[in-house]
Structure 1
């Protein structure tokens, strides 16, 4: 039996972060940490080794979620799914440049989260 996908949640709003964590667990995935800054995300990812990160574009601190996703990918080989309220073309284009496994626009809908996580899990498992 394969282990559950380990998910890192990176979200600047604590209540939304808890909501995403709850939804991910409800879908049967393991949440290995919740971060609200790029530095915290890198720290958790270094120690907990997530399979994937759910990344908000706006984070606390000077480094945004797109750059944090790039660092996770380049330094730790952790792919991301963006979950964001930003849907303007410039931001979306910048986010898609780092080849995420998905891009979900808030408000978060559980069916969309499930489908995106399932597709991402297939890609992660396939290598």
Structure 2
């Protein structure tokens, strides 16, 4: 998902030919590969520095940790969907892997379509689980999912990840809200007031009835307006005082 940022996938597979083929197929499908690793121990280090959105994990790895043990350790600290890749689909391995509640299984040899469908199902399940943690409203289908460093917005019939750091400002358009990011705009079927209530206030501040701004993106503060990416946005004296107080805390 690019600012429309692509879904980031980590491949943990000790057969390099299979891993390289998987990486090529996923790249052509529009996904971003954060790494191709041979061992579970390497995956644990990688995740700390470059957290993926999904992990494709071979069940039978050749390192100290097998895939299932690696998944168990990951799940202690991270909520990352795991899809197992396996050439061995016997009941014993399946039942052991099932205890980690994976988001899917891909059997080797696999087809490009197998990858695509399994990953799409995993993404849909992850969104559904996020949604279930939010108090239901009539607008559940259109409200964004807001996490600590990004928000998922509905765009062209799919959910797209937008990094909070990339959002410049959000503008009201009657009962809609338009997110202006560094590279793209997103029109949401939600009022600015409803969006304001959900956004993290350490990043965003409503400075006008029609504008919420990302505090980290402000370029200038003038008497009656601020400037973000050459856009002058009006601000009242009371909002300006509040803005200055917020900036001092950031």
Name the TM-score class by shorter chain: over 0.9
Contact 2:41 2:64 in 1 (8 A): no
- 1:1-127 aligned at under 5 Å gives the runs 2-126=4-128, 127=130
Report which of the two has the higher share of helix. 1
- 1: CA distance between counterparts of 2:85 and 2:98? 12
Contact 1:53 1:78 in 2 (8 A): yes
Larger Cα-atom Rg: 2
SS in 2 for 1:21: helix
> Cα deviation per residue 1:87-112 (whole Å; 9 max; x = unaligned)?
00010111111100001111111111
Structure 2: segments with no counterpart, 5+ residues: 131-250
TM-score, normalised relative to structure 2: 0.49
TM-score, normalised relative to structure 1: 0.93
Aligned alpha-carbon RMSD (Å): 1.3
Question: Which runs of at least 4 in structure 1 moved beyond 6 Å after TM superposition?
Answer: none
Contact 1:51 1:124 in 2 (8 A): no
